[in-house]
Amino acid sequence: MFQGWHRVQCQYLMPQRDTRCLKAATAHQPCSFTTTFDLSVKKRLIAASDLLSVRWLSDPQITKDGSLICITETKICPEGGLEIKMILLVSSETGVEIPPPSGHPERMWAGRWSPGGQSLAFLGSRNGDVQLWLWQVTRNEIEQLTEEPHGVAGPGAWSPDGQSLAYPFRWEANSGSQLGDDAYTITQEVYKADGVRIGAPIAKTGMKVFSMLSKEANLLTTPLGKDSACSWSPDGNTVAFISDRANPEAYSSGPALWTVEVESRSLHQLTDGQGLVQAPVWSPDGRKIAFIGNSNRHDTSLNHEIKLIEIAPRIESSVTDGLDISFGLCVQSDDLRGYGDASLDWKEGFGILGRYPERGTVHLGWVEPLEGNPAGVVFNEALKGDRSILSFSTSDSGAIAFVSTDPTNPGELFLATSDGKNERRLTDRNGSWLSEVQLGEVSLVSVRSTDAILLDAWLLAPPVKPTNPAPLILSVHGGPHWPAGWRFSFENQRLSALGYYVAVSNLRGSQGYGEQFSSSINGAWGQDDFEDVKHVAEQLSASPAIDGSKLVLMGASYGGFMVCWAIAFTTMFRA
């Protein structure tokens, strides 16, 4: 979940008379320049060991009646550095937290409420064996439901009557995934990305339906590729899901939207596998399926639109084509929340709720398709602010449970009405740790680049003001289309505590500024985006508080590319 501790990030200093190299981000030392601090500060500065105190909240799920919310909390285990996941129940009225009863598995996540809100299906793991479990909340009892030989591959989905659970299961065990494992045969066109063997043999997954009455699981789809993201139709007769079963080995085609009839197991492919497909959800009347998509799944610079498929006749349309908004994406940071977990909620009387990035924030908005007008839509912003909303769910009344983070808080659980009013924070899981440390403050800076383009940059100042000008670290985000912005970054706060100014910026190519901006560097990396990097560094370092002779450039993935590009094409930075 936490990225910053398994990637070595490249860092470079501007050439000056006292040039020196900085170590990788995983082994930083405090700045060696002479600086004195105010010793009257009562709070201590953040340190690497504080990572063990952070609680990362995700995946809030609210009951239909809005009375209870389940939330997944992740923390880092001191022994071995492994992630520990646990589910908590939170009262919407009082914020009282209910821990799981005794006998629960050592790891719990991906809770899903039964339609009546009396039971919670979740993924649980003992000794690495992932199975589907049930928490009967009214009796406060836990039981294991499945015994899949190779494990359950994703969250369960309740049938509308609460009598069945659909879930993906692994047909075989996963092979190793990291480069450096035993030799293997490459059989796919694309076989690695950022050091991960994405082309190594991956276990095929199919779907089963577990009966709450018979306590038995029956096969729903035969594993031919990877089946995931199952969603029941309102009448309980059909399950929509995402699968690459048509051609799982090809790079040119990918996951498509499918449906399967529960009784007959007959399959229907609804999309062509060329475009992006995420987060399928049925309309309340069962006539349509909404999903997040675009025309080319390999081009993440395109807007991620909310699309509709009418079941009969089969007609696909985009309801957000005219909004110039990219739904489902999130602001980037050094933990993995917001990556690959896009979701939509479709509630009768309200429309479709989705998250979207906007100028370094992540907001929520309702999209209401107009009946009889495939291109017509009513869009209402629900939740905004200088923050990033990472995940959410809604009750039948439209109440929104969501996890929100900002530069000074890793994130807590909140509740608001459908229009975003009456917002309340329900948890304070990070309050104890945050009360002990002094964090740096973030300010938004507008930077003018070439072609009169205005860029957003966020400057994190050291928590204790240095008496002398301090070095500046400029961090380039990955993607290149994932935006940076109003979100907590543990690594950046740790660096600022060492006396550095730390800046992130949304160069041309970043999402959240319209499709023209995000697609402007396609086929032209290292040109306008590189000019943006130089202008951000030059303008921020012009501040009297920053030592312009000590500029650092760092980044991972595309950000690492930009670091290498910079030292190859300019004398501004040097390894």
The alpha carbon torsion through 544, 545, 549, 555 (nearest 10 deg) reads -130
Residue 201 is predicted with a pLDDT of 55
Residue 4 is predicted with a pLDDT of 38
What is the Cα–Cα distance from 288 to 303, expressed in whole angstroms? 21
Residue that has been written with the tokens 């560094």 in this structure: 537
What is the Cα–Cα distance from 290 to 279, expressed in whole angstroms? 8
Q: Residue 27 has what DSSP assignment?
A: G
DSSP per residue, 147-171: --TT-B-S--EE-TTSSEEEEEEES
- Where would I find the H helices in 299-360? none
- Closest by alpha carbon to 270, among 255, 259, 278? 259
Residue 376 is predicted with a pLDDT of 72
Q: Which residues neighbour 154 within 8 Å (Cβ) at sequence distance 6 or greater?
A: 110, 123, 167, 168, 205, 228, 229, 230
Are the C-beta atoms of 175 and 184 separated by less than 8 Å?
yes
Are the C-beta atoms of 389 and 60 separated by less than 8 Å?
no
- Closest by alpha carbon to 256, among 234, 228, 232? 228
**Alpha carbon 380 to chain centroid distance?**
23
- Closest by alpha carbon to 467, among 37, 39, 41? 37
Are the C-beta atoms of 324 and 301 separated by less than 8 Å?
no
Are the C-beta atoms of 230 and 217 separated by less than 8 Å?
no
Are the C-beta atoms of 85 and 109 separated by less than 8 Å?
yes
Q: Which helix (H) or strand (E) holds 538?
A: helix 528-541
Residue 297 is predicted with a pLDDT of 82
For the chain, which ranges sit under pLDDT 70?
1-41, 174-202, 248-253, 372-375, 573-575
Q: How many CB atoms lie within 10 A of CB 4?
A: 19
Model confidence pTM above 0.85: yes
What is the Cα–Cα distance from 575 to 344, expressed in whole angstroms? 45
Tokens of 271: 């999309």
E-only strand ranges, 417-545: 424-425, 437-438, 442-448, 454-460, 470-476, 501-505
Tokens of 311: 């079941």
Q: How many CB atoms lie within 10 A of CB 147?
A: 11
State residue 244 phi and psi, 5-degree precision: -105, 25
At residue 495, the 3 state secondary structure works out as helix
- Closest by alpha carbon to 278, among 306, 300, 250? 306
Domains and CATH numbers, the chain: 10-49+440-569 (3.40.50.1820)
Residue 441 is predicted with a pLDDT of 96
Partners of 170 in the beta sheet? 205
What is the Cα–Cα distance from 425 to 410, expressed in whole angstroms? 14
For residue range 406-448, list pLDDT tens digits in order. 999 999 999 999 999 999 999 999 999 999 999 999 999 999 9
What is the Cα–Cα distance from 395 to 216, expressed in whole angstroms? 30
State residue 178 phi and psi, 5-degree precision: -90, 140
* Residue 103 burial (C-beta neighbours within 10 Å; 0-12, 13-18, 19+): exposed
What is the Cα–Cα distance from 187 to 249, expressed in whole angstroms? 8
Give the CA distances from residue 402 to residues 59, 69, 341, 383, 420, in Å, rounded to whole numbers and listed in that order. Answer: 8, 10, 14, 10, 11
- Closest by alpha carbon to 271, among 241, 230, 233? 241
Is the bond preceding 248 in cis, omega lying within 30 degrees of 0? no
Are the C-beta atoms of 353 and 364 separated by less than 8 Å?
yes
Are the C-beta atoms of 239 and 252 separated by less than 8 Å?
no
Partners of 393 in the beta sheet? 401
Residue 252 is predicted with a pLDDT of 52
